[in-house]
Structure 1
Amino acid sequence: MDDEELATRDYSRLRKSMHRDGSIYRGMDHYPWKEDYRIADRGETRLEATTMSDPTPDCLFHKDGYCWTHYPTGMLQFFSLRVVKLPADAPGSVVELYGYVAARDNLDPLLNYVVNISRDDPVIVEKGSLIAMSGPRRGIEMLDSSLLEYDVRIKNGVHEEDDLQLLDGASMFQFWDASARPFTLRMPTDSGAIDMIVACINCAVEATVEVFILEVQSSFNLSLICLNGGFIEEMILFDGATAESRGLKRSVVAVASHSYLDLKFNLGALPSSSNQHCCSFKAEIHGHVTQNIKTEFALISLKVTWSTLPFG
């Protein structure tokens, strides 16, 4: 599905939520959302994924294995972030991008980074480029509302004060304004623009995907694509070359209850050629499942751990 086929929603920036002028840290008494989401606390969420992956003594299981004690909940899922417009005064058509996009939810309002790129190690992007997602660290709760906080800049020389602002501020994301289907979230900006494809899944569980590359025969290119709960929109969990045994970045995905998590592995000696391997996992409340995929390039070991969000 092309981005143009998705519904596009513009979200306004909350007043006094800018980082560059420091207004987001002022007026705590006048803007309740700053207190509610602990804006002054710059720490990362303390909750980990897979918190409820093991059954507990109070679990009540139906005959089909479904747990009645721990249940799915509303979760926010990011599918992709794409640079759709660069500032007119950008230093060129290809720029160095850094900064962060993070969610703050009612489960734990500390920062749960979706993207977090340091100025010392920016990513190279151009108009139309996807921004690789580093997170979230754990599932993003979406029962009532969540706060999206962002500060994304373009590196423009030696000194940070010379950098160009792409996104800056915070927006409130309301459950009743959301959609169970993926849609394009257009973030407010004064110059450039980043589009985020997101969905609010009403009844979701948390899947933590871990991939290990073992017994490497030769170097190869690998792309790992996730299809979530029947949605057409894809998530790219990994895209790059590998030449040695290693573990890939752990990925946390919200999956609709009673649906499936589908993973596609595209492997090839060259970026232009690839063989595809697919696997599918039914969403569960607790537990984990492992699977090995033998290819001509390497043995791939895959683990998916299922969990509900704590207190969900």
Structure 2
Amino acid sequence: MHRLSSTTRPLLTFMASAPPYWSPAALALRLLPLKVAHIPDVRHVSGFPRGYRNIASTRRGAKGKPNRGLPISSTKNHSAISQGMKKVEARGTTLEVRRSATKERKWAVVLSNDEEDVSPVEILPKSTHRDGSLYNTSTHVWKRNYQVADRSETRVEPMMLSNPTNCTIRNGRCTQHVPRHMLQCFSIKLAKLFVDSGTVELYGYIAVRDGLDPLLNYVVNLSRDDPIIVEQGSLIKMSGPKRGIDMYNIILIEYDMRIKTGEKEDDDLQLIDGISVIEDMGGLWNCAFTTRIAGDHGEIDFTSSRVRRAVEATVEVTISQVQSSFDLCLRCFIGGFDEEIRLFDGAIGESRGLKRSVIALVEGSTMDLKFRIGAESSAGSAEHGCSFKADTHGHATRGIKTGFGLISVKVTWSTLIHGF
């Protein structure tokens, strides 16, 4: 299947194939209680590999829960379900496969029946960092289209159309700068850890490359000199994205996360490494889905949603007139979703501005910010909140006065720039 972008955007040509959801093979696979991600051997180099797992195509029920028995991506090797299992018990109990640490990276994960909300994701062949295969752009067209050898950060800034001068207003609305389909990341979690220690020092990055500008748009970016200490089940602090993620073309999720174990980087353990794909055709919109990225020493859960007719909200929070130190947890909820976006969780000891956050939400919907504030070393806390209605341009401000200090919130609205 060949797809062309708009003539106002860089020309991107992709080729991919997967069994239709209604095909006999796919229907048969839907009856299986297991979900397996398998990367077949791929010899063609003209585009994306055949049978790659579209991590945004999960079919779900009315409440956003995935239907049990999703089709797996490869129809060539159905016997894979019976290979490599270490433990298989009766239906309704844990079904488990530990992926072997091989360079072929064929096995991702077989999910437990108790983890209905999670689907496995495939890693594109020849897309790993440590062996250098990602940077060989002669092997796949998509590597050149998305400039994967270029390690620069995206050049596009947020709020680029927050105050445009060329609007066309009809019936009180701007028709010149319209909402775009966007991707919103809710959370990233260390789902599984295949090492004996209870906690680990984690560093590395997770970034997206989209059709607006294929350079790296970091969602997580942790240096080896400043890793985070996490345990299995912990959320991984998101540092981005820097600007809204365009869902107009196929999106690449690029990741290289490692566990720090000693003085030298060569001794560190690889958590996840490679590139996966989110498709802009088919699947669900305005519904959160969780996918699991498997690696040699652990697994990461990535919860996100493809949002139709979205605008970009840039949230800036300033804490001033601080009376005493306090703990602050700032959560964001966007209209139509139960999932929270954790914007900040830490201690405030002096007046300061928090990290700027960029959120994608449907035009006209509501964004709620909830501030949970408590004294340090105190079990009690109070919650304050403010709400904003999503618009295409302009900004809105709110002020919250607490016993610990003054919280000022500014939200700037913008649509994504076209034809960058």
Shorter-normalised TM-score: what interval? over 0.9
1:175 is displaced (CA, Å) by: 1.7
Q: Does 1:60 align with 2:168?
A: yes
- 8 Å CA contact 2:210–2:249 kept in 1: the answer is no
The Cα offsets for residues 226-260 of structure 1, whole Å up to 9 and x where unpaired, read as: 00122100011001111211000000000111211
Q: Which amino acid aligns with 2:214?
A: P
Q: 1:72 to 1:66 in 2, by over 3 A?
A: same
Which of 33, 36, 51 is the aligned partner of 2:160? Answer: 51
TM-score of the pair, normalised by structure 1: 0.94
Q: 1:177 to 1:16 in 2, by over 3 A?
A: farther
1:18 is displaced (CA, Å) by: 0.5
Matches within 5 A, 1:40-119: 40-57=149-166, 59-63=167-171, 65-88=172-195, 92-119=197-224
Q: Which amino acid aligns with 1:62?
A: R
Give the corresponding residue for 2:371: 265
Matches within 5 A, 1:134-173: 134-173=239-278
1:114 is displaced (CA, Å) by: 0.1
Q: Which amino acid aligns with 1:113?
A: Y
CA distance in 2, matches of 1:50, 1:129: 31
Aligned residues: 307
Extract unaligned runs of 5+ from structure 2. 1-62, 66-113
- 8 Å CA contact 1:139–1:253 kept in 2: the answer is yes
1:217 is displaced (CA, Å) by: 1.3
TM-score of the pair, normalised by structure 2: 0.71
Decide which structure has greater strand share.
1
Extract unaligned runs of 5+ from structure 1. none
State which structure, 1 or 2, has the greater radius of gyration over its C-alpha atoms.
Answer: 2
Q: 1:5 to 1:177 in 2, by over 3 A?
A: farther
1:279 is displaced (CA, Å) by: 0.9
The Cα offsets for residues 263-292 of structure 1, whole Å up to 9 and x where unpaired, read as: 001111145321111111110000001111
Q: Which amino acid aligns with 2:158?
A: A
Give the corresponding residue for 2:120: 10
Give the corresponding residue for 1:186: 292
CA distance in 1, matches of 2:165, 2:210: 25
CA distance in 1, matches of 2:306, 2:185: 9
CA distance in 1, matches of 2:226, 2:386: 34
Q: 1:5 to 1:233 in 2, by over 3 A?
A: farther
- With CA pairs under 8 Å and 6+ residues apart, which has the higher RCO, 1 or 2? 1
CA distance in 2, matches of 1:279, 1:179: 29
CA distance in 1, matches of 2:296, 2:349: 43
CA distance in 1, matches of 2:267, 2:373: 41
Query: Sequence identity of aligned pairs in percent?
Result: 55
- 8 Å CA contact 2:260–2:268 kept in 1: the answer is yes
1:6 is displaced (CA, Å) by: 6.6
1:5 is displaced (CA, Å) by: 7.8
The 3-state SS of whatever aligns with 1:224 is strand
